[in-house]
Each structure stands twice: as structure tokens, then as C-alpha cells.
Amino acid sequence: MAKPSNEQSIVLSQLQDEVLEQMKTIGFENESRLNSLNSIPLAVLRRNATQRHGVTRFRRGANASELKIEDVETVDLHPMLLDPSWHDYARFVLYHEYLHALGNRFHDTTFRRLEQLWPHHGANRGREFTQFLRQRSASWLWVCTTCDKKYPRKRRANGRFRCRACATILVDVMNTQEAN
């Protein structure tokens, strides 16, 4: 967890307001529970995180079988989600984390059913965001000279790996995209 900058705090607050308003529209009737979500501190993940897009952090010693909103320490979002081009997905990630904060610990069928209630297209951008993060943090691109597929990686292949699509030996190309 990293403390958000002033600009990040403003964006997080705006996203929070939008998500809570949408949750009311979706049909989360219990207004007091939604209002208590508003009291959960929002923070950001480290910039170099590539696998996590958001996380709900519970206090130590919280009863895992009966999680309450009061047990939530923070909800963290990846700082790149605060870029306007990712706001649709950021709203979905925050909604997802709020579902955890409401006591839905596991990604079970109940959780997925609640997640499906989110009405916007942002939910479909998770894989794209992961690829974006991997591309940014990669030092090397393993490139297939046959099908031109690129695999972003932190280390060189040195001819040890083949393309998943066509089995051609991959060539190392230094990644010129801006790193974190």
C-alpha cells in the first residue's frame, strides 16, 4: 500500500462517488452499508505491480468467516488505473473490491453473480490492463520472426524459448517502451 498523492486522492474520491452512486442504481438497498463503504480509506498499489489491479486489505485478527466493513483497513487500486483512459476499468475494480469489503471473501458463484450486475463495459478490460502493465515493465520482448507475436519479459530468452503459436525460436529485442 502506498499513500496516494493529492491528485490521486482527488481521482480516487471521484471514482468512489461514481461507484457508490452506481451501486445504489444497481439495487444495493442497504444505504447504511453503502455509506460505510465511503469511510474505507482508498490508497494505491506500488507502481511496479503487474498482477494485481486492486486489493481489499483486512485488519489483522479479523474473523475471516464473518468479515465486516469495519474489518477493512484499505482498498488499494493500481495507480495506472487513475489515468483517465482506464477510468471505466478502475470503476469496475473498485466495485469488485467493494464487493469484498461487503463480506464476499471468495470469488464464488455469489460473488460472480454480484459482479455481473455491473452495467458498464469496463469489466472486460482486465486482460488488456494486465498486458499494458507487463509491456511497461518488460525489459525485453521475445519476438517471433515468423508470426510477429511479442512476449514481454524481464529477462532475455537467449534462444531457449519457442513461440506458442508456431514454435519458431524467439528473438530478443530490447523493449523501448517507457518503463515504470
Q: What is the pLDDT of residue 179?
A: 53
Q: What is the pLDDT of residue 148?
A: 95
Q: What is the pLDDT of residue 178?
A: 62
Residue 47, all three cell numbers: 507502481
- From residue 123, alpha-carbon distances to 94, 95, 101, 120, 143 in Å are 11, 10, 18, 7, 29
Distance CA 110, CA 98 (A): 14
One digit per residue, the tens of pLDDT, for the chain of length 180 reads: 689 999 999 999 999 999 999 999 998 878 888 999 999 999 999 998 988 999 999 999 989 889 999 999 999 999 999 999 999 999 999 999 999 999 999 999 999 999 999 998 888 899 999 999 999 999 999 999 999 999 999 999 999 999 999 999 999 999 987 654
**Which among 65, 6, 77 is positioned nearest to 40, based on CA atoms?**
77
**Alpha helices (runs of H) in the chain, residue ranges in sequence order:** 6-26, 31-37, 87-101, 109-115, 126-137
CA angle 121, 127, 129 (to 5 degrees): 85
Q: What is the pLDDT of residue 42?
A: 98
- Give the residue extent of every domain in the chain: 6-131, 138-174
Give the dihedral sign, CA 26/36/97/10.
Answer: positive
Residues 6+ apart with CB under 8 A from 122: 87, 88, 89, 90, 91, 92
* Interstrand relation of 42-44 and 72-77 (parallel, antiparallel or unpaired): parallel
Contact 15, 94 (CB under 8 A): yes
Residue 137, all three cell numbers: 515493465
Contact 141, 154 (CB under 8 A): no
**87-101 and 6-26 helices, crossing angle to 10°:** 70
Q: What is the pLDDT of residue 180?
A: 46
Fold of 6-131: Zincin-like (3.30.2010)
